[in-house]
Amino acid sequence: MNIDNALKDAMAIEGAIGVAVADYESGMSLGFLGGGQDLDLEVAAAVNTEVVRAKVRALAALSIDDVIEDILITLGSQYHLIRPLASSHGSLFLYLALDRSRANLALARHGLKRIESSLDV
Q: What is the pLDDT of residues 104-118, one digit of tens each?
A: 999 999 999 999 998
Average pLDDT value for residue range 28-48: 90
Nearest alpha carbon to residue 50 among 82, 78, 79, 77: 82
Contact 84, 68 (CB under 8 A): yes
For 41, the 3-state DSSP assignment is helix
Average pLDDT value for residue range 40-66: 92
Average pLDDT value for residue range 77-83: 96
pTM for this one?
0.92
In the predicted structure, residue 49 carries a pLDDT above the cut 70: yes
pLDDT for res 90: 60
